[in-house]
Amino acid sequence: MKIAERLKMVRPSGIRKMFDLAQGIPGVISLGIGQPDFKPPPHVIEAYKKALEEGYCGYSPSAGYLELRKAIAERYENKYGLTYNPETEICVTSGACEALYTILQAYIDPGDEVLIPDPGFLYYERDVHLAHGKPIHIPLKEENEFKMNPDDIAEKITPKTKMIIINFPSNPTGSVMSRKQLKAICEIVEDHDIILVSDEVYEEFVYDGHKHICLAKIAPREKTVIVNAVSKTYAATGFRIGYVVADKELLLPILRIHQYVTANANSPAQIAAITALRGPQDAVKEMIAEFDARRKIIVNGLKRIKGFKVVEPKGAFYVFPNIKAFGMNGEKFAEYLLNEAKVVVVPGSEFGPSGEYYVRISYATSRENLKEALTRMEEVLEKIEVAE
Ligand SMILES: Cc1ncc(COP(=O)(O)O)c(C=O)c1O
């Protein structure tokens, strides 16, 4: 059977390939994971169970239960002083993944250009293709600590540019941006007829005193779409609860697509998400503190191994070291580490062409696993003549 043309533009995920290769290898340590290795807080799990028992098993309103939308609106009000109307300016989606797909389907026509970070979360490029748009890469350069340079954006804007997607804290680099740096990007959005989509799923995962800046705080309201989720913050990726927050006019087309893509997000998980957002946040703080400790272990460990060039990440739970000195690209390097050290990392090229000589290392695993993985990596990488 002939498959749809659009699928030709959607490469299979190389992350899956790494996981498939690792299957069945005993003692393998995975540093490829893109989700917290924690459980949701117990009161959230209880709320989920109770929701099932109380019969929240049917369809819910397409935009999500109003009570959840109110909880999301409260969060933006309390955390950032931003006011969004829960009735008309919030849509609950099946994870941030569905949010991104739906936004692109709602706004992108064939040939429209969408600026995306390179390296960046791999869904961006795939979703732009699925909307028949043209992804335009904005390089996040190592020498610039993987921050997005406003000049690089300005250079890529054409009459066809319809949207820019940004993501800080960033997957895969762990980079963050200051208010001043983000402001410069927002000014470009202000001056052009483009929509800004800010994917902020890692907003809580910031370290060394960095404060997350919600883009809606500084960008023009009528052009800004915020994507978020309970997935990472509450270690609840399987709940599939994400959300879109945007000005009423901007949200309307997104709501229309969302309804036909998924009808509504998981109903009992929405009830649990209300508890997650409104309940105590201690478990989140503890999880972030643990991630911070692991970040230090992995960063210091990598710096000790000759050949890695490491930009210290200030957010998310990834490190994106340069591995060019080992004389391999990221794909070969990842295969080498899997075969020789039984350690899984993800080739940087998965996240865009700029990632060719990098790998993404996730520290969403125990300190013991991280230390063991570092010991194994050191042992096998010592054998390689490193370019100066
Ligand atoms: C930057 C980024 N956005 C969105 C997502 C997807 O989140 P969700 O699990 O809520 O669909 C991920 C997951 O890895 C991510 O890294």
Per-position DSSP letters for 71-116, written without gaps between them: HHHHHHHHHH-----TTTSEEEESHHHHHHHHHHHHHPPTT-EEEE
For residue 259, the CA-to-ligand 1 centroid distance in Å is: 20
Between the CA of 324 and the centroid of ligand 1 the distance, in Å, is 28
Q: Which domains does the chain have, with CATH numbers?
A: 5-40+282-381 (3.90.1150.10), 58-278 (3.40.640.10)
Say if pTM beats, i.e. exceeds, 0.85: yes
Q: Is the pLDDT of residue 119 over 80?
A: yes
Ligand 1 in contact with 121 (CB < 6 A)? yes
- Has residue 138 got a pLDDT over 90? yes
Instruction: Return the best residue to mutate from 103, 168, 171, 362 for the ligand 1 pocket (most ligand atoms within 8 A of CB).
Output: 171
C-alpha 304 to ligand 1 mean position (Å): 31
pLDDT at 87: 98
Share of the chain above pLDDT 90, in %: 92
Atom 14 of ligand 1: nearest residue by CA position: 34
Q: Give distance in angstroms: CA of 122 to centre of ligand 1.
A: 10
What proportions of the chain, in percent to the nearest 5, are helix, strand and coil?
45, 15, 40
Q: What pLDDT score was predicted for residue 12?
A: 78
Average model confidence (pLDDT) across the chain = 96
Helical residues (DSSP H) of 204-329, grouped into ranges: 248-262, 267-278, 282-304
Residue range 324-348, pLDDT digits in tens: 999 999 999 999 999 999 999 999 9
Please compute the mean of the pLDDT values over residues 140-152 and round it to a whole number.
97
List the alpha helices (DSSP H) in 305-366.
Answer: 330-341
Q: List 114's β-bridge partners, or say none.
A: 135, 163
Closest to 126 in 3D by CA, of 158, 97, 164: 97
- For residue 170 and ligand 1, the question of a CB distance below 6 A is answered with no
Peptide bond into 169 cis (omega under 30): yes
Distance (Å, whole) CA 89 – CA 73: 9
Q: What is the mean pLDDT of residues 133-147?
A: 97
Q: What percent of the chain has pLDDT over 70?
A: 100
Whether the upstream peptide bond of residue 347 has omega within 30° of 0, thus cis, is no
Rounded Cα distance between 117 and 136, Å, is: 8
Q: Ligand 1 centre and the CA of 280: distance in Å?
A: 23
* Ligand 1 atom at minimum distance from 100 CA: 4
Regarding the beta carbon of 127 and ligand 1, being less than 6 Å apart is answered no
What per-residue confidence (pLDDT) applies to 34? 87
Measured distance CA(166)–CA(117) in Å, rounded: 7
pLDDT tens-digit readout, 189-209: 999 999 999 999 999 999 999
- State residue 387's pLDDT score: 81
Give the Å distance between the CA of 364 and the centre of ligand 1: 14
Rounded to 5 degrees, what are φ and ψ at 380? -85, -25
Element (H or E) spanning 138, and its range? strand 134-139
Asked whether 212 and 198 are in contact (CB, 8 A), the reply is: no
